[in-house]
């Protein structure tokens, strides 16, 4: 799991440093890039979310109901398990498919898109059970070391929670999170300090979504709140987060906790970017989106 052999051009101006045992890259993002992202978010309702020519929704393996394979991607390279965000309560299948196509294209692997049951009708542990079950079904057709998880926001909480449920031999080759929720007890300071710079993510909103998901289960216990788990057997981690996010510290604290117990951990901080900045990947010309995809692809390959 290293970008050393990948032939991909990344930004030369990235600030690289170590914080303890964490490998942290700070990626500069301009005000224009942030403005373009916010325009994309605002215009999602009227956007054409059709998959590009050459993409397929045919299942390359007999497991799961939802797959997206970009042109040129092959199951011979492995599989991406995509666990979507949406506050545990929502999903937008066309948007998810288009994001999955971008990740499939970047990694050259088909993406298995997990449609886990949604809260509040299906609270914890039903969504987590579904993620674990579909992944274990996938392992009947492909080795664990050929699988990487890609996850966003609340989906990242589910992906990391799933790692705490799995046996060592079942762990995938790696887990990628973007804008992760890792502490459902909302103890991260950035939830309050970064509210003004994020795109409408507040403590009240997070509490509402998390309450619907937990339905009375403890917020400060694992596996539902992964930061409180035993992280020693986590697979390698690539944790991407916006520097302006209310959930910035959820990623930083989780990364530090994982690195402290010896987990291979890299954090990419996209400076000035708000929550859900992965939507920048929808526009092929967006520099932040292109950088995110390049880094994801390089890390996987």
Digit-coded pLDDT (tens) for 274-299: 999 999 999 989 999 999 999 999 99
Q: What is the mean pLDDT of residues 203-215?
A: 98
**27 CB burial (10 A radius; 0-12, 13-18, 19+):** buried
- The Cα–Cα gap between 157 and 149 comes to 12
* Residue 291 designated active-site: no
- The Cα–Cα gap between 258 and 277 comes to 24
Q: What is the mean pLDDT of residues 22-45?
A: 92
Whether residue 257 is predicted with pLDDT greater than 90 in this model: the reply is yes
* Residue 284 designated active-site: no
Catalytic one of 104, 153, 154, 225: 153
DSSP code, position 56: B
The count of other CB atoms within 10 Å of the CB of residue 173 is 16
* Structural domains counted in the chain: 1
Task: Assign residue 65 the CATH number of its domain.
Answer: 3.40.50.1820
191-200 pLDDT, tens digit each: 999 999 997 8
Residue 19 pLDDT grade (very low, low, confident, very high; cuts 50, 70, 90): low
Catalytic one of 33, 152, 245, 256: 245
Q: pTM higher than 0.85 for the full model?
A: yes
Average pLDDT, the chain: 93
pLDDT the model gives residue 6: 34
What's the residue count for the chain? Answer: 301
Residue 220 pLDDT grade (very low, low, confident, very high; cuts 50, 70, 90): very high
Whether residue 16 is predicted with pLDDT greater than 60 in this model: the reply is no
Give the burial string for 140-163 (b: 16+ CB within 10 Å, else e). eebebebbbbbbbbbbbbbbbbbb
Residues of the domain holding 152: 3-300
56-95 pLDDT, tens digit each: 999 999 999 999 999 999 999 999 999 999 999 999 999 9
What strands lie across the sheet with 111-114, from one edge to the other?
Answer: 15-19, 22-27, 265-270, 237-242, 174-178, 147-152, 79-83, 111-114, 67-68
**Could you tell me which residues come within 8 angstroms of residue 33 by beta carbon, excluding any fewer than 6 positions away?**
272, 273, 280, 286, 287, 288
Q: 């309560």: which residue's tokens? A: 89
pLDDT the model gives residue 200: 86
145-184 pLDDT, tens digit each: 999 999 999 999 999 999 999 999 999 999 999 999 999 9
Which residue stretches of the chain are H helix?
Answer: 31-42, 93-107, 126-138, 154-165, 190-193, 203-214, 248-260, 287-300
Residue 12 pLDDT grade (very low, low, confident, very high; cuts 50, 70, 90): very low
Q: Which two tokens stand for residue 247?
A: 């959930």
């Amino acid at each position: 799991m290293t970008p050393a052999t990948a032939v991909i051009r990344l930004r030369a101006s990235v600030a690289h440093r170590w914080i303890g045992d964490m490998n942290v890259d700070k990626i500069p993002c301009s005000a224009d890039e942030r403005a373009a992202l916010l325009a994309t978010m605002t215009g999602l309702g009227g956007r054409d979310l059709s998959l590009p020519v050459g993409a397929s929704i045919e299942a390359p393996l007999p497991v799961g109901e939802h797959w997206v394979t970009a042109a040129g991607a092959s199951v011979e390279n492995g599989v991406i398990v995509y666990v979507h965000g949406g506050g545990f309560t929502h999903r937008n299948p066309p948007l998810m498919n288009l994001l999955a196509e971008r990740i499939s294209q970047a990694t050259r692997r088909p993406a298995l898109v997990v449609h886990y049951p949604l809260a509040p009708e299906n609270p914890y542990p039903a969504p987590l059970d579904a993620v674990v079950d579909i992944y274990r079904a996938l392992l009947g057709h492909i080795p664990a070391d050929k699988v990487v998880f890609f996850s966003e926001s609340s989906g990242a909480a589910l992906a990391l929670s799933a790692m705490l449920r799995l046996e060592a031999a079942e762990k995938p080759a790696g887990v990628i999170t973007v804008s992760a929720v890792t502490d459902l007890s909302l103890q991260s300071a950035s939830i309050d300090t970064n509210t003004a710079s994020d795109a409408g993510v507040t403590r009240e909103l997070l509490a509402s979504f998390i309450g619907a998901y937990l339905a009375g289960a403890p917020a400060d216990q694992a596996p539902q709140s992964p930061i409180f788990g035993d992280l020693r057997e986590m697979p390698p981690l690539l944790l991407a987060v916006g520097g302006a996010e209310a959930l910035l510290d959820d990623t930083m604290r989780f990364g530090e906790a994982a690195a402290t117990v010896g987990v291979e951990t890299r954090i990419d901080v996209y400076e000035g970017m708000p929550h859900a900045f992965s939507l920048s990947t929808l526009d092929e010309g967006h520099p932040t989106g292109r950088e995110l995809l390049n880094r994801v692809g390089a890390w996987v390959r």
